[in-house]
Structure formats: structure tokens, C-alpha cells
Amino acid sequence: MQAVVHVAFKKTVLDPQGRTICSTLNNLGHKNVLDVRQGKFFEIEIDPDISQEQAREQIEKVAREVLANPVIEDYSIDWKD
């Protein structure tokens, strides 16, 4: 069982790294790039012996408490079998 957790700054928070990438791309000639926002993702492999419900609860907790800073970041969780 695999969970993919995406973490990125909230839309209301300035993303200086994304801004820098955007202006670099513009300077390289990619003028059609209007905005870039950067984030991280985590592919988490979970013991298939635990129940799906348990796994979901655990990964929700991990995302909220360890991987993301909920004050300035949003996260989302996708599941693969």
C-alpha cells in the first residue's frame, strides 16, 4: 500500500523559490511561463498487513504533524494500491 503526500505553501503564502524559478525560466526564453509554485511530495510505503482504515488514519496524522506545517502549508494525500 502506498500513500503519496503532497505538501506546498498555502496559496496565500509567498513562494520565493517558485518565484525565482519562474523568473529564471522567463530569462531563459520561456516567456509563456506566468507563474511557478514549488512543493514537495513523499511516497510512503506502508505495511500491507494493517487495515486500510488504520493506514489512512496514520498517514493523515503523519502528514499533519510531521510532513507539513499547517500554519503555512497545505497537504493532500493520494492512495495507490
Residues that bind its own copies (CB under 8 A): 6, 8, 18, 21, 24-25, 28, 30-47, 50, 54-55, 58, 62, 66-67
Give the shortest CB-52-to-its own copies separation in angstroms: 12
Give the shortest CB-71-to-its own copies separation in angstroms: 20
Three cell numbers written together for 22: 519562474
Give the shortest CB-3-to-its own copies separation in angstroms: 9
Q: How far, CA to CA in Å, does 37 sit from each of 6, 11, 42, 55, 57?
A: 13, 9, 17, 29, 28
Q: What is the CA radius of gyration of the chain?
A: 16
